[in-house]
């Protein structure tokens, strides 16, 4: 029996090595929830197509694109189109998105207030410090009548031209924002980081982006791989009925929606 088990283990190792040798191993970079969870749903579908999948987890928004551009990843899944386009321009990266999967609306959260009317002059409200999510946050605050910003896509706190509410806006690292809720009056937080902190957007957000938000989360590959066989297989897997069913069952109750 022991010899049989050893032989079976060797067969598995050899099969995995053969897959990797054929160039069928795919390393996919993700941020934790829900991107990692979605790729795990897609993983068996890709494995049926002969791909060996390695999921590599990141906790920030910069490294997954740099790792993809440098070749240590084959694809990543964590960002939306405006963020990708801005980073491509800033870092001169040859990256392309291949599939829009789901939408994670930005929301305003607080442990100290339950409605906008409770915000007072001088109250500290923190927002993401990356250009695209910071701009989204400001437009969300603007839609609620708290501020007014200059025209343009990538506005920052410096572009606030009217502040009738008198709030103090500070920019911080997106992943750190949930940890500020005990110290600030309110925070605009990305849905993935909010849910990791135990917040449910549909229940806990004081205001939230509409479901027709243009900020769909995308799968990204290097430009040279956009039309590759593995990219086509990846698109098929992440836009599969299995992934759609997962989004509808597990993510929609939390305020996220499918983009396909």
pLDDT in tens, the chain (260 residues): 444 444 444 444 444 444 443 559 999 999 999 999 999 999 999 999 999 999 999 999 999 999 999 999 999 999 999 999 999 999 999 999 999 999 999 999 999 999 999 999 999 999 999 999 999 999 999 999 999 999 998 999 999 999 999 999 999 999 999 999 999 999 999 998 999 999 999 899 999 998 778 899 999 999 999 999 999 999 999 999 999 999 999 999 888 999 99
| Region for 155 from its dihedrals, namely left if φ exceeds 0, alpha if ψ lies in -120 to 50, beta otherwise | beta
Instruction: Please indicate, yes or no, whether residues 91 and 138 belong to a single structural domain of this protein.
Output: no
Query: Token match 């920052």: residue?
Result: 156
Instruction: Please indicate, yes or no, whether residues 190 and 162 belong to a single structural domain of this protein.
Output: yes
Measured N-to-C along each axis, helices 37-48 and 229-238 cross at an angle, to the nearest 10 degrees, of 130
Instruction: Give the CATH number, domain containing residue 56.
Output: 3.40.190.10
Instruction: Please indicate, yes or no, whether residues 48 and 9 belong to a single structural domain of this protein.
Output: yes
Query: pTM to 2 decimals?
Result: 0.81
Q: What's the maximum distance between 2 C-alpha atoms anywhere in the chain?
A: 77
The Cα–Cα gap between 256 and 26 comes to 27
Residue 102: strand pairing partners: 217, 258
The Cα–Cα gap between 55 and 245 comes to 21
Owning domain of residue 230: 2-105+214-258
Q: Report how many domains make up the chain.
A: 2
Instruction: Please indicate, yes or no, whether residues 184 and 118 belong to a single structural domain of this protein.
Output: yes
Instruction: Please indicate, yes or no, whether residues 181 and 242 belong to a single structural domain of this protein.
Output: no
């Amino acid at each position: 029996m022991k010899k049989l088990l050893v032989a079976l283990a060797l067969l598995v190792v050899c099969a995995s090595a053969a897959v990797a040798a054929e160039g069928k191993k795919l390393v996919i970079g993700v941020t934790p929830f829900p991107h990692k969870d979605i790729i795990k749903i897609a993983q068996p579908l890709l494995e049926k197509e002969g791909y060996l999948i390695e999921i590599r987890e990141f906790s920030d928004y910069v490294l997954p694109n740099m790792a993809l551009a440098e070749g240590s990843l084959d694809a990543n899944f964590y960002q939306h189109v405006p963020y990708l386009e801005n980073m491509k321009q800033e870092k001169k990266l040859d990256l392309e998105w291949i599939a829009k999967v789901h939408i994670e609306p930005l929301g305003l959260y607080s442990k100290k207030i339950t409605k906008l009317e409770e915000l007072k002059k001088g109250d500290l409200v923190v927002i993401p410090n990356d250009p695209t999510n910071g701009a989204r946050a400001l437009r969300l605050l603007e839609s609620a009548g708290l501020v007014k910003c200059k025209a343009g896509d990538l506005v920052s706190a410096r572009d606030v031209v009217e502040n009738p509410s008198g709030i103090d806006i500070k920019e911080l690292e997106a992943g750190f924002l949930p940890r500020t809720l005990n110290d600030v009056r309110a925070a605009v937080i990305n849905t993935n980081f909010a849910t990791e902190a135990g917040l449910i957007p549909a229940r806990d957000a004081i205001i939230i982006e509409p479901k027709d938000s243009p900020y769909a989360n995308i799968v990204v590959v290097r430009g040279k791989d956009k039309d590759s066989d593995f990219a086509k297989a990846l698109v098929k897997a992440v836009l599969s009925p299995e992934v759609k069913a997962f989004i509808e069952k597990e993510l929609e109750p939390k305020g996220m929606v499918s983009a396909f």
